[in-house]
Amino acid sequence: MSVLQGDILYLFFEAKNSITMQGDIGVARSTDKGATWEQLGVALDEDWHLSYPYVFDYNGNIYMMPEGSAKGDLRLYRAVKFPTEWELEKVIMKKPLVDSFLIQHDGKYWLFGSDHSGIGAQKNGQLEIWYSSSPLGPWKPHKMNPIYNTDKSKGARNGGRPFLYDGHLHRAGQDCGETYGRRLRLFKIEALTPTEYKEVEVPLGLKESMKGRNAWNGARSHQLDVQQLSSGEWVAVMDGDRVPSGDVNRRFILGCASVLGVVMLVIVFGMLLGAVKGLVPLSWCPHNVGKRSDASFDWERSSLLSNRMRLFCSRLNRASSSLRARIKPKTCSGGLVLAVIFIVTVVLMCTGVKYIYGGSGAEEAYPLNGQYSQFTLLTMTYDARLWNLKMYVKHYSRCSSVREIVVVWNKGQPPELSELDSAVPVRIRVEKQNSLNNRFKADPLIKTRAVLELDDDIMMPCDDVERGFKVWREYPERIVGFYPRLADGNPLKYRAENHAREHNGYNMILTGAAFMDSKMAFEKYWSNEAAAGRAVVDKLFNCEDVLLNYLYANASSSSTVEYVKPAWAIDTSKFSGVAISRNTQTHYGLRSSCLQKFSEMYGSISSRKSEFHHRNDGWDV
């Protein structure tokens, strides 16, 4: 919950204590209308879980009413030294209320909250109201209590501070239908008296992100605090989560179920192959009449566990014989059954490992110094590669940090924007001339400093893109990319990644998949100094990325390139047959020629080698 004091906004929130593993109340401060925040520390810490800190003014004092349902009551705290020191003022209700708020309306104070402990109460679907002449009580129950005791998706549980807009009170409620706190609903309160309560749902006005789980609130968003500033502007604080409630437990249960399925299929597989008999002690099976000592026989006869094991082994071996009689492994049908069991076993094992050791499915942005940022994605293409572009836009627009996609259209009829399934704005920049130099043309409409130049035929996970973006933010003066190259030899030759790894170093990064500072890179590329190099690019219709690497190296004595290894990457042009450089030998020959020309113009880069394995995070292995 937020508190406005002059132009300073204070935010109180639930903070998980890593030692006690329970919720405390933290506080942060913003002096720029919520654009940035300064952490001030823990405001309130009790021996039980605290959350939902509702803060308000009354008679010149500031009070906090956090949820402490684990204690079994509702407590009111008064600020001794705002915002970090508080003391207990009063236990205002002996009920374990969750997500409560308190407002003044028509000369009375109204308390809204949910008591899920009552008999017949619907968890997350129950709401009650009390009223009083003072926030300190005593409180009287509303005549219609419970106001709601309904389906958890209806928004009964409070979802933040109520606010007055257009003469009406508005209440936010949580839709917990799919998962706890999945989304918010907004209600306009039309009647609030000791005997009557009426509210109607109104549009929240927030558009759900098309980025799905990769959005900052892709899985859940269940708290909203709206404040009106002294200037008349409105500011809202809203929470978000990429992981559904209970996701870790759900993944663990599904993973264990998959592993159990693997165990059962392995047993069936062994039974069909006749290997199960070799897995059990034959001395325990009733049909085995091997010689045993009297002492051993007496122990087995008197042991309940031994009797049960003998019975189990006997039945298992009979089942194995019966199964092999019906499904003969040496026949075609039997071999097919074995193959199906094997494939299903492998799939279940992979599924189990994914659920137990894998993540939540969201590919999150990586913060740098606690801050997140965004970049513009730029690609260059033409009409024959529209199939690539459609898949490209649909995939990368869902990545967390992508703000906009710019398509540099070099040739043919550009597509309509409606043909592209995008979660972010897409802008198609139609060029008059088909030139590779267009890739680095200055574009004043680009709103971000960071640009990811990424060919439309390269597909990689959003997580790899986000890692590359984090590394670029550490080194914004460099070209940070995913494809390293090494130019060496006499005369200079253009070499692939395998050669670079054999020589443990690289001195170029392909700009077909690289982050760069848009202003710095584009100004270098279109400077008078680079005019001769641009002419070579137009003549050979190649080497624009080689030229940019030379321009960076020529302008700095320090390292100018940085490599990040992607987990995987697919060249989709192989499927569509529209690859620009299909003849690798010819392509590399042209680039070697470019190396020699650019070395004469801007100096050699053969000695400027960066080594692999120099990053502590291991992202350049």
Assigned token pair, 528: 């008078």
Angle at 616 between CA 241 and CA 216, to 5 degrees: 10
Which residues are CB-neighbours of 310 under 8 A, at least 6 positions away?
284, 285, 286, 300
Angle at 127 between CA 123 and CA 130, to 5 degrees: 140
- Dihedral of CA 134/135/138/142: which sign? positive
Cα–Cα distance measured from residue 280 to residue 292, given in angstroms and rounded to the nearest whole number: 17
Which residues are CB-neighbours of 471 under 8 A, at least 6 positions away?
480, 515, 562, 564, 615, 619
Cα–Cα distance measured from residue 309 to residue 301, given in angstroms and rounded to the nearest whole number: 12
E strand or H helix that includes residue 249 = helix 247-273
E strand or H helix that includes residue 252 = helix 247-273
Q: Which of 326, 333, 457, 320 is nearest to 396 (CA)?
A: 457
Which residues are CB-neighbours of 571 under 8 A, at least 6 positions away?
457, 458, 579
Q: Are 211 and 400 in contact (CB under 8 A)?
A: yes
Residue type, 224: L
Cα–Cα distance measured from residue 75 to residue 90, given in angstroms and rounded to the nearest whole number: 6
Quickly count: other Cβ atoms within 10 Å of residue 600's Cβ: 10
E strand or H helix that includes residue 25 = strand 23-30
Q: What is the DSSP code string of 466-511?
A: HHHHHHHHH-TTSEEES-EEEEETTTTEEE-HHHHHHTT-BSEE-T
CA atoms within 13 A on the CB side of 94: 0
Whether 545 is a known active-site residue: answer: yes
Cα–Cα distance measured from residue 276 to residue 255, given in angstroms and rounded to the nearest whole number: 25
Give me the sheet containing 61-67, strands edge to edge: 51-58, 61-67, 74-81, 85-93
Cα–Cα distance measured from residue 210 to residue 395, given in angstroms and rounded to the nearest whole number: 11
Q: How far is CA 492 from CA 174, 481, 488, in A?
A: 64, 22, 5
Q: How far is CA 184 from CA 151, 223, 346, in A?
A: 15, 7, 41
| Candidate list 225, 463, 488, 545, residue with the active-site label | 545
Q: Are 404 and 468 in contact (CB under 8 A)?
A: no
Cα–Cα distance measured from residue 530 to residue 538, given in angstroms and rounded to the nearest whole number: 12
E strand or H helix that includes residue 168 = strand 168-175
Q: Which of 242, 225, 222, 122 is nearest to 180 (CA)?
A: 222
Residues annotated as catalytic are 545
